[in-house]
Structures are given as structure tokens and as C-alpha cells.
Amino acid sequence: MNEEVNETSFQPGKLREIVLSAFGVSLLVGGSIVFPTLPIVVGSILGLIEESHKKNIPPHKVKRVLANLEKRELIRLEERGDEIYVEISEKGTQEILKYSLEAVLNIKKRKKEWNGKWYMVLFDVPEVQKNKREHLRRFLKRIGFFPYQKSVYVFPYECEKEVRLIKQMVESSAYLSYIIADKIEHEKEVKLYFNL
């Protein structure tokens, strides 16, 4: 049973992050950044929040977050006749993707549809850019990858599209590679990490 949450139960900005991640899940899964009406937007977001975070958030709180996002120019609400369209700005898309990758990968982990392959991100960022390298390591771990080696991170489900988005987001993308492996050493430890 999903828990109904009070906005005060979140740390500052957490509800906004959850709404942004829900936008991103919709963008990544559905491939669309324009929604036809405000009620559908709210309904889609509530459904995605429930699926990815196991929380029920009252619709009026989501609408308040949407209004705040519009003020920050991350989204644009536009009336066209009797309908209200929501468009995500270029600035908003970047911020949304930052929060949505973790949610998308979490959905894949919960489905547990493992085909026995390993999906790996490798990188070789030069020493002079070690700050970017450390940022990339922290980011990959935060969104759900297993740190197999210092510059090798593993995920058990197909994530090529998500890795392409990571390459768009990080400055060290030129040093990133995506590899699919049928077998890896120390597989037992990685399986344990992902509850496989």
C-alpha cells in the first residue's frame, strides 16, 4: 500500500525534485515533452510519482509545484482555447533529466527483467580533470550503477538511451564508453548488489 505524504515530510525542494523526475520519466519513456491538458499533466505526474516513489501526493500540491516551476521558467503553461498545454523549456529539460535518470533506472530495477547481460559505463577522464571524474563517479553511483572498478560502473538492465543522456549532461562525455557484456568476473557480488 502506498503511503500518502504530507509536503512537510520532505526536505526543502524534495517535492519539486520528485515532480521534475516524474516529468523526466514521462519524457524518457514516452518521448514527449508536450502534454495536452493540465489535468492530464497532473494525473500523469501523480501516477509516475506513485510508481517510482511509492507515494501518493495530493493533486493541489503538485499543481502548486507546477506553478512554481513556471515562475522559474522551467516549464510554460499555455492556454489554447479551452485547453492548457504544458511545455518544458530547454532550461527545464536539463534540470528535469538530472532528476529523472535515477527514477527511470529504479523502475527498471523493480521490474527485474534481467536477460543475463551486464551494461557497463567506462570512462578515462584525464588527471587534469579529476574534479569532473569524481563528479561523474558520484553521479553514476547516485542514479543506481554499481562501482565495479574506479572507472567502470555496471547496471543489469539495458540503459543505452539513459547513457546517451548522461553524455549530453556531463562535460567529460568524450571519455565515456558504453559496453554490453555477457559475463563479468565477480558476478556474485554484483548480483547481490542488485538483488538478482
**Residues 116 and 66 both lie in one domain:** no
Sign of the torsion formed by the C-alpha atoms of 16, 168, 179 and 148: negative
Instruction: Give the model's pLDDT for residue 31.
Output: 46
Q: Which domain holds residue 123?
A: 112-193
User: Rounded to whole angstroms, how far apart are CA atoms 107 and 10?
Assistant: 21
Residue 56 has φ and ψ, to the nearest 5°, of -105, 120
| Rg of the Cα atoms in the chain | 18
Residue 90 has φ and ψ, to the nearest 5°, of -60, -45
DSSP-derived secondary structure letter, 150: T
Among 85, 109, 133, the domain boundary falls at: 109
**Residues 11 and 95 both lie in one domain:** yes
pLDDT tens column, 66-107: 888 888 887 777 777 766 677 777 777 767 776 677 777 887
* Torsion, CA 40, CA 45, CA 48, CA 54, rounded to 10: -130
CATH of the domain at 166: 3.30.70.240
Tell me what percent of the residues of the chain surpass a pLDDT of 70: 73
Cα Dmax for the chain: 60
pLDDT tens column, 132-148: 888 888 888 888 999 99
Least confident span in 26-40, 99-113, 138-152: 26-40
| Structural domains of the chain, count | 2
Among 109, 135, 170, the domain boundary falls at: 109
